[in-house]
Structure 1
């Protein structure tokens, strides 16, 4: 029988360029998750400073990311919990001497070691003047204490090819830290439906689970006002969301029955078809076994 994994999604009102305050909030919620027996806790994208590259302090704080990554490793080891601490902005010097920023998600094991990382590939339009993309780097799944996991970030959700590559590499669970707001849709788009972004998330997350026979752990920013969307959730094929938050701040801990993935695959045979030598979609990424 496939195991049940106890996981947590965390969301709160992320303060702009308030790195220590946001870090303290993250640690508080991680400790709550660990106290409820969570094996993995997932934080939102941009959770340390939000996304305000126009503020010069934002670039300064990006240069401090390694310090916080090490702190999260120590916390994971202390609490014996796996962590995906949202995303961390990493600053490097580009080939032309300019500052280069990566939006990176790390998977930290329950012994404090880093098992893998992923740099955002599909950059949302307003981010493109600031962030570098991982481009042609392949999406790779990693072995973790909760199973084989793939990581994506925010706008990657819109691209089914990203999921297909992770599924071809054996991912059963896809973790997605996000900073998705109601205003990511234009005024024109919202004139048709003011809740268009919530509809996007709810429908796409469930669809990705069905079409890939995988589970998704999705963590977003939340809080009062119109700048946050929330909707952090754990979603599975066959049943949809098994835990879903609104726009409140806090942590939600839930048991993921991975046996559902086996039933979904027996029913839909998605992975079986993907493995065929004569698979007919030419955009499929080939993985050497």
Structure 2
């Protein structure tokens, strides 16, 4: 059994503040017995303030993978598996990236592949999806818009992922904002995608998200842990907090796939 935790929380441009918040969240998750903690996208440095026109002066700080702030998260993780997002610097390019680490170092990295309108002006796109081994099992990562595309999560499941960490900086609707967050179109889709990606691949999905506001964006929260049948095991709703669920990952996945095994019963030759 492992306790998997997903965070809804606010992070911004102040890296020292962000690190302090990461340290607090790791401490709380450790106190609650979590073996895996999934922090939001952009947990170091915050997300874009404007998706329509992300000007260079408003971009998050770009950090190399060996930056001192990144190394500090590795140290804080210790025995825990921790996934977190940041703006990655690679030469002249920036990527919306996620790392999965323990105190021993980096276990896996993902660069966001699918970009909503405007984000391509700030970030280069990643080019693939790969799972990797961790102390809590084989894990794959998605960032934000990646979860909208079934092929992304399916590629991770085909690569053996039994847990998908879906890190988000997912805002309310920009074009048609509802008076109440619970009525917002993007709030509904966020939950729908989380449950569908877990159920169609019969995996455990840990979905984190930002809360609060940055520039013109208001973030949804709604962190959750979803079982391989698509059932929500724990959630935070729209407020900041940590959703924690105790899961026997291998047993739950095996049970879900006992009669109908979606991966084994695919027909790739028919899909074109």
TM-score, structure 1 normalization? 0.83
Partner Cα distance (1:250, 1:11) in 2 = 5
What is the aligned counterpart of 1:100 among 64, 77, 93? 93
- Within a 5 Å distance, the mapping from 1:140-289 to structure 2 comes to 140-184=130-174, 186-187=175-176, 194-223=183-212, 227-238=218-229, 240-258=231-249, 259-274=251-266, 279-282=269-272
The structure with the largest helix share of the pair is: 1
Deviation at 1:190, TM superposition (A): 5.6
Deviates more, 1:217-226 or 1:26-35: 217-226
Deviation at 1:279, TM superposition (A): 4.1
Deviation at 1:63, TM superposition (A): 3.9
Deviation at 1:253, TM superposition (A): 2.3
Number of the residue aligned with 1:287: none
Contact 1:273/1:279 (8 A) holds in 2: no
Of the two, which has the highest radius of gyration? 1
Structure 2 segments unaligned to the other structure (5+ residues): none
TM-score, structure 2 normalization? 0.88
Deviation at 1:49, TM superposition (A): 2.1
1:43 aligns with 2:58: no
Q: Secondary structure at the match of 1:152?
A: strand
Q: Secondary structure at the match of 1:254?
A: strand
Change (3 A) 1:90 1:239: closer
Deviation at 1:164, TM superposition (A): 1.5
Structure 1 segments unaligned to the other structure (5+ residues): 94-98, 283-289
Calculate the aligned-residue CA RMSD, in Å. Answer: 2.3
Deviation at 1:162, TM superposition (A): 0.8
Change (3 A) 1:164 1:224: closer
Contact 2:166/2:207 (8 A) holds in 1: yes
The structure with the largest strand share of the pair is: 2
Q: Secondary structure at the match of 1:117?
A: strand
Tell me the matched-pair count. Answer: 261
Contact 2:26/2:77 (8 A) holds in 1: no
